[in-house]
Structure 1
Amino acid sequence: MWETGRHRGRHVQRQRTTRPWPLVLGLVLVLVAVGAIWLPRALAWRPTVIAAVPYWDLERGLVSVAQHGSFLDEVTPWWYGLAPDGSIVSDLPGGADAENTALIRAGGGGMRLVPTVASTNKGVWAPHVVHDILQDTQRMNAHTDALVSLAVSHGFAGLQIDYEDLEAGDRDLFTSFVTILAARMHERDKVLYVTVHPKTTDAGYDARNMAQDYAALGRTADRLVIMAYDWHWQASEPGPIAPASWVEEVVRYTLSQVPADRVVLGLGLYGYDWVGARGEPVVWRQVEDLVARTGATPAWDEASASPHLEYTLDGAVHEVWYEDARSFDIKLALAEKYGLAGVELWRLGDEDPGTWTVIRDRAT
Structure 2
Amino acid sequence: MKNGAKIFIVALLMTGLIIAFGCAKAQKKPLANPDTTPKNAQQARNTYKPHVTAFYVEPGSEGSFASLQRYYKHIDMFSPLWLTVKADGSIKDMTDKTALEFAKKKGLKVIPLVNVANSNDIVLTTPEIRDKTIINLVQLLKTHDFDGYNIDFEFIPKGTKNYVHDKDLLTKFMSILREKMKPMGKTLNMSVIPHFEVSTDVSGIYDYTALAPLVDVVTLMLYDRHQASSPPGPVSPLKWADTNIRTTMDQGFKREQICVGVATYGYDWPVAKGGGYSRPTKEILREASQKGIDVKWSEEFHEPYYVYRDPDTGGNREVWFESSQTIKEKIDLVDKYKLHGICIWRLGFETPSFWKVIGEKIK
Q: TM-score range by the shorter chain?
A: 0.7 to 0.9
Deviations 1:201-238 (A, max 9, x none): 8xx52223111101111111111111010000011111
Gaps of 5+ in 2: 16-33, 157-162
Shift of residue 200, structure 1, vs aligned partner: 2.3
Q: Which residue of structure 2 lines up, in the alignment, with residue 198 of structure 1?
A: 194
What letter matches 1:323 in structure 2?
E
2:206 is paired with a residue whose SS is coil
Q: Distance in 2 between matches of 1:198 and 1:158?
A: 23
Q: Does 1:180 align with 2:176?
A: yes
Matches within 5 A, 1:293-332: 293-314=290-311, 315-332=314-331
Tell whether the 8 Å contact from 1:239 to 1:321 is kept in structure 2 after alignment: yes
Tell me the SS of whatever aligns to 2:300: coil
Distance 1:8 1:357 in 2: 79
Aligned counterpart, 1:260: 255
User: Using the alignment, how far apart are the partners of 1:135 and 1:10 within structure 2?
Assistant: 94
Structure 1 pair 189–316 and aligned structure 2 pair: CA distance change class (3 A):
same
Deviation track 1:313-358 (CA, whole Å, cap 9, x = no partner) reads 3123221111111111111111111111121001111413222222
Q: Which residue of 2 aligns with 1:271?
A: 266
- 1:43 aligns to what? 45
Q: Which amino acid in structure 2 is aligned with residue 76 of structure 1?
A: S
Q: Work out which of the residue numbers 147, 158, 161 in structure 1 matches 2:151.
A: 161
Is this contact kept in 1: 2:229–2:275, CA < 8 A? yes
Whether the aligned pair in 1 keeps the contact of 2:87 and 2:122 (CA below 8 Å) is: no
Indicate the RMSD between aligned Cα atoms, in angstroms: 2.8
Kept in 2, the 8 Å contact 1:168–1:211? The answer is yes
Determine whether 1:116 maps to 2:119.
Answer: no
SS in 2 for 1:321: strand
How far 1:199 sits from its partner (Å)?
Answer: 1.1
Aligned to 1:242: 236
Residues 1:84 and 1:10: Cα distance change in structure 2 (over 3 Å):
closer
**Identical aligned residues as a percent:** 28
Which amino acid counterpart does residue 143 of structure 1 have in structure 2?
T
2:141 to 148, 151, 161: 151
Query: Quick one: which of 130, 133, 144 aligns to 2:123?
Result: 133
What is the DSSP-based 3-state SS (H/G/I as helix, E as strand, rest coil) of the residue aligned with 2:309? strand
Q: Which amino acid aligns with 1:136?
A: T
Partner-residue secondary structure (3-state), 1:55: coil
Q: TM-score, normalised by structure 1?
A: 0.83
Question: What's the secondary structure of 1:360's corresponding residue?
Answer: helix
Q: Could you tell me how far apart the structure 2 residues matched to 1:283 and 1:205 are?
A: 25
Hey, what does 1:337 align to over in structure 2? 336
In the TM superposition, residue 288 of structure 1 has moved relative to its aligned partner by: 2.1
Answer with 318-327 or 268-277: which moved more.
268-277
Distance 1:354 1:138, change over 3 A: same
| Bigger strand share | 1
What secondary structure is seen at the aligned counterpart in 2 of 1:77? Answer: strand
Change (3 A) 1:187 1:58: farther
Q: What is the CA-CA distance between 1:58 and the residue it aligns to? A: 7.7
Q: Which amino acid aligns with 2:302?
A: A
Q: 1:363 to 1:10 in 2, by over 3 A?
A: closer
For the residue of structure 2 that corresponds to 1:296, the secondary structure is coil
Question: Residue 349 in 1 paired to residue 315 in 2?
Answer: no
Which residue type is aligned with residue 362 of structure 1? K
Equivalent residue pairs, number: 333
Contact map agreement 1:114 1:157 (CA 8 A) in 2: yes
Q: Distance in 2 between matches of 1:229 and 1:115?
A: 20
Distance in 1 separating the partners of 2:188 and 2:10? 77
Inter-partner Cα distance in structure 2 for 1:48 and 1:359: 10
Asked if structure 2 preserves the Cα contact closer than 8 Å seen for 1:271 and 1:282, the reply is: yes
Matches of 1:173 and 1:338 in 2, distance apart? 31
Give the deviation of 1:12 after TM superposition.
Answer: 10
Structure 1 unpaired stretches of 5+: 18-31, 121-125
> Residues 1-12 of structure 1: matches in 2 within 5 Å?
8-9=6-7
Q: Does 1:65 align with 2:63?
A: no
Deviation by residue 1:241-260 (Cα, 9 ceiling, x = unmatched):
00000001100000012111
After superposition, what is the alpha-carbon deviation per residue over 1:37-91, rounded to whole angstroms, capped at 9, x for unaligned?
886454333122100011244874122122211111111011321223121103x
In 1, Cα distance between equivalents of 2:315 and 2:75: 40
Offset, 1:175? 0.5
Give the Å deviation of 1:11: 9.5
CA distance in 1, matches of 2:301, 2:362: 23
1:52 maps to a residue whose letter is F
With normalisation by structure 2, the TM-score equals 0.83
Q: Does 1:78 align with 2:96?
A: no
